[in-house]
Structure 1
Amino acid sequence: MPHSPFRLLSPARVRLGVQAAYALFLLYAGWRFFLYVRWAMGESEDFVPKPPSVEGFLPISALIAFKRLLFTGQWDPVHPAGLSIFIAVLGMALLLRKGFCGYICPVGFVSSLLARLGTRLGIARRTGPRAARLLSLPKYLLLAQFAWISVVSMDVESIEGFLLSPYNFVADTRMLQFFLAPSNTAITVFAVLGVGSLVLPYFWCRVLCPYGALLSLLARLSPVAVRRDPATCVDCGRCTHACPAALPVQRLERVSSGECMGCAECIAACPVKDCLSVTLPGKRRLPAWSIAAGCVLVLLAVWGVAQALGIWDSPLPQSMARRFHMMLRIGMITH
């Protein structure tokens, strides 16, 4: 009987394939968005529809809109796709651990490539579990700061004022401008993060990313987890060495840490068949690629529902968007 094609793919290849496919999609969306911005700012007469998926790069705006949704039941009309993507990412964390970080996030993709390069250059350094926990503290502090400023301290009236402000209308365009013409300070920060990621794999994700910190908190509730069978384990330590989050897999019966990305690298590294596996409650085993497939399905399902409900594309007229972009162009929108 021929093997399933999924069995011939290692977890690393599945992960790299999903990450690369999503990265290519984002590059295409980014190019379309660039053409849209040129039209919106009066630099081109050729209208190109804005790709709503770029709103996924506005997590703070989406977080604020999510609070408004909870308190008023109203969907964000300015960046509706951003709110949809934010809810999809929260759903992934609750169902599939930090699968978004492991398979979807473009920063995670770059981090994984830098980690591979650092390993090949022989400069990558691993940390023990205790050091890993200490290194993760800054991102939780950043999350607390963002949550206080952007959510806790803002009432509904303040939130609506922000969401409907000219600044929020062009927030995605300002993000594009930032990446197209970064300041010297930004270039220096990117260089430091890049070098840091070569030496300490997933430096940004593990140490500084507040979005990842939020998902880590939710991932603790996920029913899916990697489980180790102590009876068959030979205590070789390969699983712990392979874990990008430096989790002590070989000492755990169930990897319940919120830092687990569900990448299944530990399963691939284990020399004992079925010692490590992705499981549901009741120890029901799942294929190693199930978290990757689940993340893609959640994203597609939320996109389909948002399309069906008419909450994916902004209902606001393009004339309004172009007016705000022209204001940005002449410097009337700065903060």
Structure 2
Amino acid sequence: MLKFSWNRCRRLVQAGMILIFLLPLTGMYQVLGTLSSSRILGLTLTDPLAFGEVLLASKTITMTFLISALWIAGLYLFLGKAFCSWICPIGFLIEGVDALKRKWPWLTRIQIHKNAIDEQNQYHWALPFFLVLSLVVGIPVFQTLSPIGIIYRAFLFGLGLEVLLILIIIVLELAGYRRGWCRMLCPIGAFYALSARWSPVKVRCDTDKCVQCFQCVKACDYTAASLKNIIEEGKVYAASSLCTRCGRCIDVCPARALQFSLKPEKSPEPESMAVAKNLKADIPAAGRISRRTALQGVGLMALAGLSYKPAKALAAAAPKVFRPPGAVGDEEFLAKCVRCGKCIEICPDKTLLSAHLDQGLNLGTPYFVPRQIPCSLCMECPDVCPSGALVPLDMREVKIGIAEIDQDRCYAYQDDVCRSCYNSCPLIDEAIIMEGFQYPVVDSEICTGCGICEYVCVMEYPAIQIKRMS
């Protein structure tokens, strides 16, 4: 009979989570989005860090967006740092690199740094850094650059130069900085490490069964030092906030002395003191700074963000693109968009595209090219936007741009018969009228900028084009 394995179960969950978010590729839209924000069977769920960044970047909040983040925050207050080993695709990728190194030992020759047990720490600097940076620049910075989002967008919407960040993470692993991204650079890991102190799910040790073989210590990637303390000091459970609840230590224990438990037994010292000591141990001495210094630094950065607002300059520097219907202004859109891709997936005509690195600060945001595929104004995309970057509107209220006719190139103005733009306009005889039954004329007050007229223009270089409002 096959022995139960937490590690095998975890692998299935990791692979299953990736496949679930790829369901839209098969035409199944019960699951939309990515781990930044998703809609599962009609329920919207948002990563608390993504919510925090958008809140700080946009300086606005909606109740539905807050509730969608509280669902996930509550889940991981219970499960601790389980996201990193059970859900995160980067964790799945890194463990795949480990498997390749075991299969092809020659890969270990690349290693230039050797990790020791006391180096398995979580650096928390990335969390305040990305939050304050989002406040200062007015853009959810980590959501734009997140390798988690990049992986999902690559699967769903195609590869871009941004996948180089994934290669950098792999190189870190091969160079010997085991879990280098996860421990040193990832603000999500830092966030869940902080919230994990309240998790009731812990690894418990039956000290009567433990034979002190230290197999668990060798198997652990994050909290080996904490496990070692359990064995050497006879503690009942691992209080480390870095434990990802992967279950590998439980699987390798020959005496079955370790297990997950929801019933905390009395610790040799008060749990609050144990957690405090553990959190302090999680931060290397060389990397510690005083609380006053940290607060002063964060406060100065926050004041700088409130006094100087570069969001407008950054929005102006970003390439100008056509946004989905209902999009707010450029500056506000870049601040509120979570880069989750739900609007792109729900689009029935596949009009919307996901911006790649060549689009600069637009990276991960939705846009479309009228000449390739215009917007049919179905108005489904605003309904799935969690953050208010897209606002539900009536079709006649949409203002993506304004169509302009080059009369020197238009067939109709050269005394030929052509009504392509007029016949295809969804607001026929309103947005485009035929003057004297011959010449198409655009009413700029009514035109929505959907791009259908540009798409159907028979000229190789369209004689009618959509121009942005600003």
TM-score by length of 2: 0.46
- On the 8 A contact 2:216/2:253 being kept in 1, the answer is yes
Q: CA RMSD in A?
A: 4.4
**Distance of 1:260 and 1:270 partners within structure 2:** 16
The 5-angstrom pairing of residues 132-147 of structure 1 reads: 132-133=120-121, 136-137=122-123, 140-147=124-131
The 5-angstrom pairing of residues 184-333 of structure 1 reads: 186-198=162-174, 199-248=176-225, 249-252=227-230, 253=235, 254-273=237-256, 275-283=257-265, 313-314=384-385, 316-317=392-393, 323=400
- On the 8 A contact 1:114/1:201 being kept in 2, the answer is no
- Give the 3 Å change call, closer, same or farther, for CA 65–116 of structure 1 in structure 2: same
Greater helix proportion: 1
**Distance of 2:450 and 2:98 partners within structure 1:** 42
Superposed CA offset, 1:12-53 (max 9, x none): 110000111111112224x37xx9xxxxxxxxxxxx979543
For 1:95, the equivalent position in structure 2 comes to 78
For 1:15, the equivalent position in structure 2 comes to 10
Task: Give structure 1 stretches of 5+ with no counterpart.
Answer: 36-47, 285-311
- Give the 3 Å change call, closer, same or farther, for CA 177–270 of structure 1 in structure 2: closer
**Distance of 1:115 and 1:190 partners within structure 2:** 15
The 5-angstrom pairing of residues 63-78 of structure 1 reads: 63-65=52-54, 74-76=63-65
Structure 2 SS opposite 1:75: helix
For 2:115, the equivalent position in structure 1 comes to 127
- On the 8 A contact 2:223/2:240 being kept in 1, the answer is no
- On the 8 A contact 2:200/2:264 being kept in 1, the answer is no
Task: Give structure 2 stretches of 5+ with no counterpart.
Answer: 38-45, 267-382, 386-390, 402-448, 452-465
Superposed CA offset, 1:113-172 (max 9, x none): 222222333328873332122xx32xx222111122335x69xxx8xxx79xxx9xxxx8
**Distance of 1:204 and 1:21 partners within structure 2:** 23
**Identity rate of aligned residues, in percent?**
24
User: Residue type of the partner of 1:206?
Assistant: R
User: Residue type of the partner of 2:195?
Assistant: L
Superposed CA offset, 1:180-203 (max 9, x none): 3423xx454332211222444433
Superposed CA offset, 1:68-120 (max 9, x none): 9x9966223xxx8xx72x43432232101111111112222212222222233
Superposed CA offset, 1:209-249 (max 9, x none): 11111011001111110012223211111001111214221
Structure 2 SS opposite 1:89: helix
- On the 8 A contact 1:238/1:269 being kept in 2, the answer is yes
Structure showing greater Rg? 2
Q: Compute the displacement of 1:272 (Å).
A: 0.4
Q: Compute the displacement of 1:61 (Å).
A: 4.2
Structure 1 SS opposite 2:83: helix
Q: Compute the displacement of 1:281 (Å).
A: 3.2
For 2:95, the equivalent position in structure 1 comes to 112
Superposed CA offset, 1:261-298 (max 9, x none): 1011000010102x1111123449xxxxxxxxxxxxxx
- Give the 3 Å change call, closer, same or farther, for CA 194–281 of structure 1 in structure 2: same
Q: Compute the displacement of 1:332 (Å).
A: 6.4
TM-score by length of 1: 0.62
Q: Which fold has the larger relative contact order, with Cα–Cα distance below 8 Å and residues 6 or more apart in sequence?
A: 1
- Give the 3 Å change call, closer, same or farther, for CA 318–101 of structure 1 in structure 2: farther
Structure 1 SS opposite 2:203: strand
User: Residue type of the partner of 1:25?
Assistant: I
Greater strand proportion: 2
- Give the 3 Å change call, closer, same or farther, for CA 49–282 of structure 1 in structure 2: closer
**Distance of 2:76 and 2:249 partners within structure 1:** 19
**Distance of 1:226 and 1:262 partners within structure 2:** 8
